[in-house]
């Protein structure tokens, strides 16, 4: 087994963990991780060296973006659950944090998960997302502020759409 394939194999648990956090669904995460691995192995000749894990995260993010773009063309049906009602509880639990993460837009959530869950540096996240490091810092600040507001019970401000 080549060194490249060994590094890919070692990255699978981290890819699955990040995929599950990104998609919030184990089945979907496994599908995008599988697509990522297939694309990586087919494109081995395009790998220019460096960190294989960062390259795989880039592929995974692109696969997920393509999935979201495809889903955005279809209508979404959502059920109303009892947990959607506003409660007066002051205690926080994992569900509150998960719901706060669910409220974030894709880019800030992806950046936050790469830093917090995967332990990557801002520079690595910038390379993975293909943006300047300042953009990553801005996305992280926005994500942290929105999560704090959500956990404090504040409603997000409405945005004017022209």
Residue-range domain boundaries for the chain: 1-73, 90-162
What CATH code would you report for 1-73?
A: 1.10.1740.10
DSSP state of 73: T
Alpha-helical (H) ranges within 24-93 are 26-42, 52-72
- As given in the structure block, the two tokens for residue 37 are 């691995």
In this predicted model, what pLDDT tens digit does every residue of 10-23 receive, in sequence order?
999 999 999 998 88
For the whole model, what pTM was predicted?
A: 0.65
Residue 146's nearest CA partner among 114, 106, 89 is 106
Please tell me which of 49-53, 123-127, 152-156 the model is most confident about, judged by mean pLDDT.
123-127
Mean pLDDT of 22-47: 92
- Crossing angle for the helix pair 122-129 and 52-72, to the nearest 10 degrees: 50
* Domain 90-162 in this protein, CATH class: mainly alpha
Mean pLDDT of 136-143: 92
């Amino acid at each position: 087994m080549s060194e490249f394939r060994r590094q890919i194999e070692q990255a699978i648990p981290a890819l699955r963990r990040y995929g599950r956090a990104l998609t919030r669904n184990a089945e979907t995460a496994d599908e995008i991780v599988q697509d990522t691995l297939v694309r990586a192995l087919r494109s081995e000749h395009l790998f220019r060296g460096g960190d294989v894990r960062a390259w795989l995260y880039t592929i995974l993010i692109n696969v997920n973006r393509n999935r979201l773009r495809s889903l955005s063309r279809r209508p979404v049906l959502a059920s109303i659950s009892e947990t959607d009602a506003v409660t007066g509880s002051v205690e926080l639990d994992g569900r509150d944090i998960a719901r706060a993460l669910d409220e974030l837009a894709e880019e800030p959530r992806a950046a936050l998960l790469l830093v917090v869950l995967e332990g990557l540096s801002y520079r690595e996240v910038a390379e993975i997302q293909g943006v300047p490091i300042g953009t990553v810092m801005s996305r992280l600040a926005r994500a942290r502020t929105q999560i704090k507001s959500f956990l404090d019970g504040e409603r997000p401000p409405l945005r004017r759409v022209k």
